[in-house]
Structure 1
């Protein structure tokens, strides 16, 4: 029993570390797009992460070419999960706060569950419906947190919502191919293919953008590699691996934490002012994710099964 507890403790500590890095990554990316052309630097950041993933997978002997069917899904996932998500995040964080951006990105699990419900024509349970409502209230409070109220809703907040929307939509595509292609290898293919497309877009939108790289201080480049290697490459590979260790429901609970750490990062790293509305929005969003993503329902079902097993035993 003690061995199992220690094993689970190591898994949870690892997941916690990933969540901290993901939360702080919002502030890191905002720092990058303030100093460097946003779309171009996002493309290079994601491309670096993709190469790191392939390097790790080569040591693990997990590399293989995709089939024709898998290639179609890889391209679709790349367009949504990489090109759409990182493009909108780059230009969104350039003109909104990291606090708002982090809270909006925290809607990911909830939005994924909502899209799955709509696309697959499922009737949501009462708990999920309440979760969708709480998430909507939370995001409304967040974007109204600025000084201007409704008039102060920024285009940056809209771009951040589009960033998480395209990523959530991509999970529908990814779920169809992850059964035959290792999610870690799928991640590598999407990162490299998507970053190449994103780089082409960046060079068209930001001509001469590479000339700005010479002016960036050393700590910006340190932030670049921390974001690319730790947050995007190692972080996503580790999280996908942990899903197989403890299950979707348990890992989904941890997805609430980056939202909190993104708020703390915005205050500590960037010196942004955190308003009471940000924390109120955080509470609603976390509650919405727990209920709307199905994580709470799954944990309740598992608890009932364990109780039933004990009673029957």
Structure 2
């Protein structure tokens, strides 16, 4: 009897890459736009309002798709960790750090997260730390050192060090959340759970923001409202939905390409909106970090192909 092999997965390349490009564009543009918004609002209050808009947007998207459900009991732990770590803590720390750094440089530092995931997954999940992954991490860490070197960053300025430290802390917190996500067995539709994650982060962050910041400092004019609307509805809402859809449509290496593209958009849009001039070290560091992310993505794809092949051979009759 002839046994047919599983067909190679077919991806909706056109739609997937369109969504991926829209996501990279939206998240990259958000860095200079967010910096403009912070000129008229304290950072935590801005973040709370932004995430509230994102929550409303995601609830509307889930309802329109007919997938809005009350989360299963088994998903509540990861809803809490994602809501607190990847949403509230990461976005708040990046926003706080953005006050002290150029928007383009902040984008580079914030999107080093794929580099941190590799050693964390090896340490906590037992994933193999292969040579290609080690090369990717090495490239990323070298790029990070280039960006953070004392000659370009200005270590004599404590505000700059604080800004870089806050963003790097945010990437580590985000990585911790991802490790929990990878260990979790989902009971519900991922897209349907995102509104609840955002809502949880808003409910926790809002009292903190009101406690430590003064709402009277917000200047309610168009220079505050349009950055808030963009950061809330587009960056925290539509881009999140597009990213989830792209994950279904494309292989993992394409998502690594997206992670490398966001800082590039951030650098270019910061030069356009804010007149920032990226330094040579910023550009070199970005190229090295982007190369590291792509190498890690290729290594992950290679490992996934091998795993599927091994699973197929084990399931085939001898």
Structure 1 length-normalised TM? 0.87
> In structure 2, the residue corresponding to 1:121 is in which secondary structure?
coil
Closer, same or farther in 2 for the Cα pair 1:60/1:93, shift >3 Å? same
1:158 aligns with one of 151, 162, 165: 165
Gaps in structure 2 of 5+ consecutive residues? 1-9, 310-318
- Superposition pairs of residues 151-300 of structure 1, within 5 angstroms: 151-152=156-157, 154-177=161-184, 179-206=186-213, 209-213=214-218, 215-292=219-296, 294-298=297-301
Give the C-alpha shift of residue 146 in structure 1. 5.8
Q: Cα RMSD between the aligned structures? A: 2.4
- Superposition pairs of residues 1-313 of structure 1, within 5 angstroms: 8-144=13-149, 147=152, 149-152=154-157, 154-177=161-184, 179-206=186-213, 209-213=214-218, 215-292=219-296, 294-298=297-301
Closer, same or farther in 2 for the Cα pair 1:142/1:178, shift >3 Å? farther
Gaps in structure 1 of 5+ consecutive residues? 307-313
The question of whether the paired residues in 2 share the 8 Å contact of 1:184 and 1:237 is answered with yes
- Show CA shifts across 1:64-122 (max 9, x none): 11232211221122111122112211211111221221001121222223311221233
CA separation in 2, counterparts of 1:158 and 1:146? 17
> In structure 2, the residue corresponding to 1:95 is in which secondary structure?
coil
- Show CA shifts across 1:279-298 (max 9, x none): 10011101111123x43451
Tell me the matched-pair count: 297
